[in-house]
Homo-oligomer: A and B are copies of this chain.
Amino acid sequence: MLKQEDYKQHISERFNTELEEIKTHLLEMGGKVEQQLSAAITALVEGDTAQAESIISRDHEVNQMEMAIDDECATILARRQPAASDLRLVVTVIKVNTDVERIGDEAAKIARQSVRLAEDGMSPTNYIEIRHIGDLVGNMLRKALDAFARLDVKQAVEVIKQDASVDKEYGSALRSLVTFMMEDPRDIGAILNEMWALRSLERIGDHASNIAEHVVYLVRGLDVRHQSFEAVVDQVSDSY
């Protein structure tokens, strides 16, 4: 006969499994988006239209994952009425889910620019800026997801710090592309396509930084959005 205690424990185990599952699903989606991003950068610098098309066609898989995860979260909130750190996990997953999906969107936008570049003529810049900022941003994304997986505040703070340096590099990359435009106005169209891809990378850096901020909230219960990197460090550095 099932005793009341056993029943409670059974429910609680199932609840823990559900919480683990939303985390796992979000990380799976994150892994997929990482792949999409890295493939999009390769497609762009190599002018590989077939790869770009396949990235664009896979974006809906990310969208489906986003909707499924939101649905799981709503179900947990309704059925389990989580409290304290369990509730923070669910709210964090809802927030991070949006950022991960937007990163997938931006990767698909980069793929679309790469199709345009292959069709209208490649940019004369050799895509040094795209490669460089693409590496930085890919690294930020990997670290942000890893910080979420391991609840690692220190690593999350590093991601927030990196975003400031990406913004600087982005500014100087744009200036260098403007110089190319002025040198030969016939390249304006191609360089604009490259600029839009660069802008997507910069946005991905912002989203990775958002994810990192949500990790700080999840682990510490602190809302560190809209603050300077130094202010964030001040608040969290006491215990890592």
Contact = CB atoms under 8 A, between A and B. Distances in A.
Interface in A224-238: 225-226
A240 to B, nearest CB: 23
Contacts of A83: 78
A123 B226 CA distance: 32
Interface residues on A, range: 20 to 34
Interface stretch (A17-25, A47-55, A66-74, A155-163): A66-74
Given A181-B188, A185-B182, A77 B70 contact: no
A226 B60 contact: yes
Given A81-B81, A185-B185, A188-B188, A225 B178 contact: no
A199 to B, nearest CB: 7
A226 B98 CA distance: 13
A186 to B, nearest CB: 8
B199 A178 contact: no
A95 interface: yes
A182 B94 CA distance: 45
A77 B90 CA distance: 11
B181 A63 contact: no
Given A64-B226, A71-B223, 8 more contacts: A63-B225, A67-B226, A77-B77, A91-B94, A98-B98, A178-B192, A182-B188, A185-B188
Interface of A: 60, 63-64, 66-67, 70-71, 73-74, 77-78, 81, 83-84, 87-88, 91, 94-95, 98, 178, 181-182, 185, 188-189, 192, 195, 199, 223, 225-226
Query: What are the 5 closest A-B residue pairs judged by CB atoms, nearest first?
Result: A63-B226, A81-B81, A185-B185, A182-B185, A67-B223
